[in-house]
Amino acid sequence: NAGVTQTPKFQVLKTGQSMTLQCAQDMNHNSMYWYRQDPGMGLRLIYYSASEGTTDKGEVPNGYNVSRLNKREFSLRLESAAPSQTSVYFCASSQGGNQPQHFGDGTRLSIL
Amino acid sequence: RKEVEQDPGPFNVPEGATVAFNCTYSNSASQSFFWYRQDCRKEPKLLMSVYSSGNEDGRFTAQLNRASQYISLLIRDSKLSDSATYLCVVRYDSGTYKYIFGTGTRLKVLA
């Protein structure tokens, strides 16, 4: 029962470097999401994909891009990392409708 | 005003106590409601969905009050292992597939 799998679990980057966070789900869910969580801020939506082939901005999309590669995979890319992007990143998926989201165990990203 | 508001706590309660949290939401178009539990910056884990008639899962009871726009979570016979942050989540039926998270209520159960 893998559920939602995120890689890597930890990463340290230097300012200006780029990287891609990977997310895959095996629950045949239509919708996938990327959040960041900072102390005292709660979860904030970066981007989401309601279904394969579509992506939309959330509340904090600046500095990020996403790709819904297929129904299973949804990646988040930082083109030029900044210290303000130091955070814990969670990927989630849901079937939609009145169904809840299911989360991966997160990527802890530090940008120096 | 935040779309989903929770008292951040912490709620410090002794083992065996009953504790209740409320969560208010601002958009009356909200359709789906959930409680999640989150341990020390680990991933949020679904605790229970909240149904219109209220629902119970073991020691946990969730209620929805649409007229006053709040949901509640009651934990009976608190265990040390219940110590965590409890997140209230609301989903609007607007076709945008967005889930709105509260910032969480922190619970500490004391021995």
- Which pLDDT belongs to residue B40? 87
* Residue A1 pLDDT level (bands cut at 50, 70, 90): low
B45: which chain A residues are within 8 Å (Cβ-Cβ)? Answer: 103
Of residues A45, A88, A94, nearest to B41 (C-beta):
A88
Task: Quote the CA–CA distance of B24 and B17 in Å, as a whole number.
Answer: 23
Provide the pLDDT confidence category of residue A112 given band limits of 50, 70 and 90: very high
User: Is A103 in contact with B44 (Cβ distance < 8 A)?
Assistant: yes
**How confident is the model over A55-105, as pLDDT tens digits?**
999 999 999 999 998 999 999 999 999 999 999 999 999 988 788 999 999
| Region for B66 from its dihedrals, namely left if φ exceeds 0, alpha if ψ lies in -120 to 50, beta otherwise | alpha
- pLDDT score, position B98: 79
Question: Residues B103-107: what's their mean pLDDT?
Answer: 94
Chain B residues within 8 A of A48 when measuring between CB atoms:
97-98
Among the partner-chain residues B43, B97, B104, the one whose CB lies closest to the CB of A90 is B43
Of the two residues B45 and B92, the one the predictor is more confident about is B45
Binning pLDDT at 50, 70 and 90, where does residue B94 land?
A: low
Average pLDDT over residues B5-24: 95
Tell me the average pLDDT of chain B.
Answer: 92
Within 8 A by CB and 6+ apart from A62, the residues are: none
